[in-house]
Amino acid sequence: MRLKDTFEQLKSGGEKALITFITAGDPDIETTEKLVLEMEKRGADIIELGLPFSDPLADGPVIQQSSQRSLERGMNTSLFLEIVSRLRQKTKIPLVVLTYYNPVLSFGEEKFVKEAARAGLDGMIIPDLPLEESRSLHQLAQTQGVDLIYLLTPTSPEERIILTVERAGGFIYCVALTGVTGVRENLSKKAEDMVSRIRKFTSLPLALGFGISTPEQAEQAAAFCDGVIVGSGIVKMVEQMEKYPEDLVKEVGDFVSSLKEGTRR
């Protein structure tokens, strides 16, 4: 309900959601928890936490390297859920896990969903889980009150859009381009057309991600969608600031604040 309530509150105030992503455990667990709380304080409305996987096929080099660093430093599913549980004691901001199906399968679908709900996660994004193979996880998630969030792309045909929105919960993750995550100079020209096509079939919030990394791009995206997702730009800053831990959290906070201003213009 936290996702639904957040989008409704923002809509009533004429605002669009800023959804930020970081990889859990990069550069370390303590900093991850500080970053989540700082991003909330500086304007993030929903936070995606990456549960790293060794073969993140939807991610570009920035998030791939972040996932690798996190795994090398010992991150695993149990530690991830402990982080979420501790954060949930300190914040009510919607928290969504972004991971791949392999970690979920290895942990056990039912166990993963139950422990995710118990820890306080509100949603799950699993880019490599096809709609056709998501029924059991979808049913488990529904039982536990966790939204399974699906992705649609500029090449998704109409029949797939219809099937996806019928099953989706929380919001639709609209992928702005055909390719992997990463910083881009310009927002894809296909993004607005895609959002317009999807909106014909659902009242769920539509959030746009992939390739959005500046306040100007956030402003452009916010003009036609309900939420703006920024990942690689933040993760890259975390990597660049790792040598300056005393400034890292503040720098990311400043960046998130500028992105939020972009969504308000």
Which one of 40, 59, 219, 226 is the catalytic residue?
A: 59
Give 27's Cβ-side CA count (13 Å radius). 15
- C-alpha–C-alpha distance, residues 176 and 188, integer Å: 6
The residues pairing with 50 across neighbouring beta strands, listed in sequence order, are 23, 98
Name the token pair of 64: 């791939």
48 carries an active-site annotation: yes
Neighbouring residues of 12: CB distance < 8 A, sequence distance ≥ 6: none
59 carries an active-site annotation: yes
Spatial contact of 246 and 36, defined as CB atoms under 8 Å apart: no
Spatial contact of 122 and 92, defined as CB atoms under 8 Å apart: no
Name the token pair of 99: 């991971």
Which one of 38, 40, 48, 226 is the catalytic residue?
A: 48
Name the token pair of 159: 């029949």
Catalytic residues: 48, 59
